[in-house]
Structure 1
Amino acid sequence: MSINIKLHQHTLRRSVSCHGIGLHTGRQVRMTIKPAAENKGICFYRSDIANKPAIPARMEQIVDTTLATTISNGQEKISTTEHLMAALHGAGIDNATIDIDSHEVPIMDGSAGPFIHLLQKGGLKKQRALRKVLRITKPISLTQGDKSIRIEPMPGLKSAAP
């Protein structure tokens, strides 16, 4: 198994839109994913609210993981973000602006598949800035009840292929 790591940041070549039902609200949701400038990251904008508040999709913005991943800017929230975020990551998109007219990402078919298809329609655009990566410099462990994880530094890259 070869590992293909993109050194540069990427965004969409053109905007793409979809609509669907919110899993927990049952409401129609319209969403547009747009290209964004280098180093902007992924950011949601609530178009259903007058001032279109920004909600950055960053780990420290996570406020709840009960039945869905919910992020917040301290006032407004976006929930059920996990499948869209997985699709953005899987497609190699570092920077995107997401306009959404609800507090919940549409569930589509319950997987990341429809979002991957949508992102493929938008195309990938290489940006000049280098991608930011996380480097593990010391062992990290976390245990909660009978579950645990341990991450250790390793020089270079190694495939997890069997």
Structure 2
Amino acid sequence: MLADNKEFVAAVEKFKKLRARFDQRQVLKHEFELLIRFEEETYDLWGLYQQAVVGNINVPKLDYFDPVEKSWMWGWIKGNMKWHAWNRCKGMTKQEAALAYIEGVRSLEERLPNLIEDWKDDQDPRIPDRNRYVPEEEREEVARITREAKAARRERDALKRAEEEAMGMWDE
């Protein structure tokens, strides 16, 4: 990494800050699922980071486990996903991977508020599944129900955030 070293380090720090929100809150009700969705969204960034720092993948597929994960099954699943993310970067130079990582973190930072809203919508049983088929004659009613449910969830989220801020749980 030549001239972009400072920018790469800044992107790594930004990613750590973005991930910390999910990591710190994973023990709270309905927050662990958001951490899982965040990790699923960022496996490719992990692969770019490894390519930028280490270079081409040097770990056999069968031996790769996530060392942080306590569960053998989840260690293998997460390790397998990470291995494939890194393997997709094979052939990129460290410089190319670093630039792609920087751009990926910028993109993630821009998209994250909308992603969180989508993930929370997916968790909320009051909000209809946006991927299901809705007959033409029912679309207006489903759209109304969805708007009302999202507004109610946002109101609940705002009250929850105010309570958490009062307890000192937010440091942003």
TM-score (norm. length: structure 2): 0.23
Structure with greater helix share of residues: 2
More strand by percentage: 1
Task: Report 1 or 2 for greater relative contact order, CA contacts < 8 Å, sequence distance ≥ 6.
Answer: 1
TM-score by length of 1: 0.24
